[in-house]
Amino acid sequence: MRRVLVRRAITSLITFFIAISLVFVISRLTGDPLSELIENPEVAPETVEALRRAFGLDKPLYVQYINFIQSTLVGQLGYSINYKRPVFDVIMEKLPYTIALLIPAITLSNYFAYRLGVESGWRRGKKFDISITSVSLFIRATPHFWLAIVLLYIFGVWLGIFPIFGAVTAGAEYASIWDWLKDYLWHYFLPVSVIVIRATGAMFLYIRNSLVETLGEDYITTAVAKGLPEKIVLYKHAARNALLPAVTVMGLRYAFIIDGAVLTETVFSYPGTGRLVYEAIVYRDFFLLQGAVIILTTSVIFVNFIIDLIYLYLDPRVRYR
Amino acid sequence: MTETVEVGRKEVILKRTRWGRIKDSLNEFWLVFSNNTSALVGLAIFSVILMVAVFAPFIAPYDPYVKTGMPFEAPSDAHLLGTNDVGEDILSELIYGARISLLIGFVAAVVATLIGGVLGLLSGYYGGVVDEVIMRFTDVWLAFPGLLFTIFLAAVLVRTPIGGRIIYTVIIAIALNSWSGVARLVRSVTLKVKEMPFVEAARAAGASNFKIIFRHILPNASPILLVSVLTRIDSAMLTEASLSFLGIGDPTVKSWGMIIHYAMIRNAIVTGRWWWFIPPGLMISITVLSIILISIGLEEYINPRIRRGF
């Protein structure tokens, strides 16, 4: 058990190093990551030179690489031109908003996908299955940002029952923490719904197909032949085994959810880390973009590690191999 | 003299049998595929959109790059879907957009399949360390937030575009998002094919590794590669739309995603101009859905064990 755990941890570390090395390679592809700043009329040439010296961009490439790894490990991600503050501080300030979006997105979408997938697979070929499966296919085909736009338009603009931007009402003063929470949740509802809907649609088919496959197994026939109630066969025998292959793709789903958060936060002007990616593109804020990519990727690797641990717990065969 | 005649005849016979085999497998394919209603529906929708793309100049009421009305016009008889912020016809943009979105999706899918195909061939054929390195890298890549890296890569490269055109850069960035699945597929095919007797025969006859890979193994992997191009067009189109929406891409190339980008930055959503941002999104969804439906039919043909019950 411990050996497997250590091996997984090492794999995650290697993945992390490959990830930041890739970020380094991409950022130096054009030769000079600051070339854009030189063209930016709002940034003085002296500032660019100061940044270049501060981040060692005038040194040879291998020195830059070592510096890059070192500073990334201690959280020095550079300086944001737009926010005029260190990138790490900016990201950390926005990260809670994104995490608050992601955690329910992961748990709710997995729960919905699980329940719908199992019920749908059990009724395969019936009306319920066909309608749910068709809806999930359409959700899969819908661009994430467009789904967000449609919901924003219908509920925010047309019906006017939800706010159209921000995480809380701008400039509002709150009598109590409850008032703040109410305002926060009101702003929170649409963005989180978009992410949950998209992630459920993506996960649903895996679980449904996995369940359909499991239902063909001999032990299911045995369980039915023994006269066990339908619910028991479905949830105790079939669903548990159908879930295993689905857990392995959960990690991939999380990376997908992060991608979705970037787009959703952009549409709703939600002040999270994902929105920073868009701002960094618009304001050509190189270090901010790079920092957001590093932090978000690291979170993906971390979550994947956690999912691996869950998998170890769920599947004893992996534990004792 | 007689020798050449004989060789010639052999070639003819070989060609005929090969053509016969292709015809047989096409027939078999159609038998399975045409049994799948949703795949047929997908094919029908996709054909219509392809037609629209090909005959865009004949269908579109206006040139989408020419100002033909006042800015921000609402839908009317002259402009069925209104006009954009500079007075260009949105319906025409939409029709021409089919060309651009499909073309970018298709080319990016081809590039992704090429990258994944070559890596898969090398990995499967050489095995050992090569295989280990390529497959580890593939695993790592699969677990990355792909869109985020594509955004980063495209945003960095757009400043000095490959080949001088932003569009090429965007295509490469999209392709890098989706090669990893192909690499795995092609690797597994290669592992199977390289154990076949004719590969051994080729090696005994002194064929080089290069020749074995590209003359003997690649043709056997080509059906998989063809399918993988098709099944990757949908994800490539979605990636392209997301990049364009975020403003990464050639601002003068009007793909469906780019139309939505302009709608957003010109406040069409909060001012309720639905005719500007709803239709392009619907077009993306319908096109991608049709490709997904076709893919499901193809998968069923390639892997008969999959019975999805659609």
Residue B259: the pLDDT is 93
On the question of pLDDT at B114 being above 50, the answer is yes
Task: Provide the ipTM.
Answer: 0.86
Residue of B nearest to A266 (CA): B246
Share of chain B above pLDDT 70, in %: 90
Entry field: residues in chain B: 310
Residue of B nearest to A284 (CA): B155
On the question of pLDDT at B246 being above 70, the answer is yes
B270 to A157: CB separation less than 8 angstroms, yes or no? yes
Q: What is the pLDDT of residues B31-62, one digit of tens each?
A: 777 878 888 999 999 999 999 999 999 988 88
Question: Which of B152, B162, B180, B286 best probes binding to A when mutated, by most A CB atoms within 10 angstroms?
Answer: B152
Residue A319: the pLDDT is 62
CA-closest candidate to residue B283, choices B244, B241, B253: B241
Residues 6+ apart with CB under 8 A from B201: none
- Break chain A into its structural domains and give their ranges: 2-86, 91-315
Joined tokens for residue B94: 């939409």
- CA A161 remoteness from chain centre: 27
Residue A155: the pLDDT is 93
Residue B203: the pLDDT is 86
* A217 in contact with chain B, both atoms CB, cutoff 8 A: no
On the question of pLDDT at B255 being above 50, the answer is yes
B234 to A153: CB separation less than 8 angstroms, yes or no? no
Which CATH number is A91-315 given? 1.10.3720.10
Nearest to A138 among B137, B270, B289 (CB): B289
Q: What is the pLDDT of residues B116-125, one digit of tens each?
A: 999 999 999 9
Joined tokens for residue A250: 């959960």
Nearest to B143 among A29, A150, A252 (CB): A252
- Tokens 């003359």 -> residue: B215
Higher pLDDT, residue A120 or B84: A120
C-alpha angle with apex B97: B93 to B100, nearest 5 degrees? 145
On the question of pLDDT at B306 being above 60, the answer is no
Mean pLDDT by 10 residues, chain A (321 residues): 82 88 84 68 76 76 86 85 89 90 86 92 90 92 93 91 83 83 90 92 88 88 89 87 76 80 92 90 87 90 82 69 50
Joined tokens for residue B126: 């050489």
User: Domains (ranges, CATH) in chain B?
Assistant: 59-292 (1.10.3720.10)
Q: What are φ and ψ of residue B80, in 5° steps?
A: -60, -35
* Residue B230 parent element (H or E): helix B218-245
Distance from CA of A308 to the nearest CA of B (A): 12
* pTM, to two decimals: 0.87
Residue B123: the pLDDT is 92
Q: What is the pLDDT of residues B158-190, one digit of tens each?
A: 776 666 678 888 898 899 888 888 898 889 888
Residue B1: the pLDDT is 37
- Report residue B204's pLDDT band, with 50, 70 and 90 as the boundaries: confident
Nearest to A300 among B145, B152, B260 (CB): B145
* Residue A62 parent element (H or E): helix A61-73
The rounded distance, in Å, linking the Cα atoms of B111 and B179 is 8
Helices B90-126, B128-143: inter-axial angle, 10-degree rounding: 150
Mean pLDDT of B261-267: 90
B152 to A133: CB separation less than 8 angstroms, yes or no? no
CA-closest candidate to residue B124, choices B227, B212, B202: B212
- Greatest extent of chain A over all pairs of C-alpha atoms, in Å: 81
Under 8 Å between Cβ of B244 and B255: yes
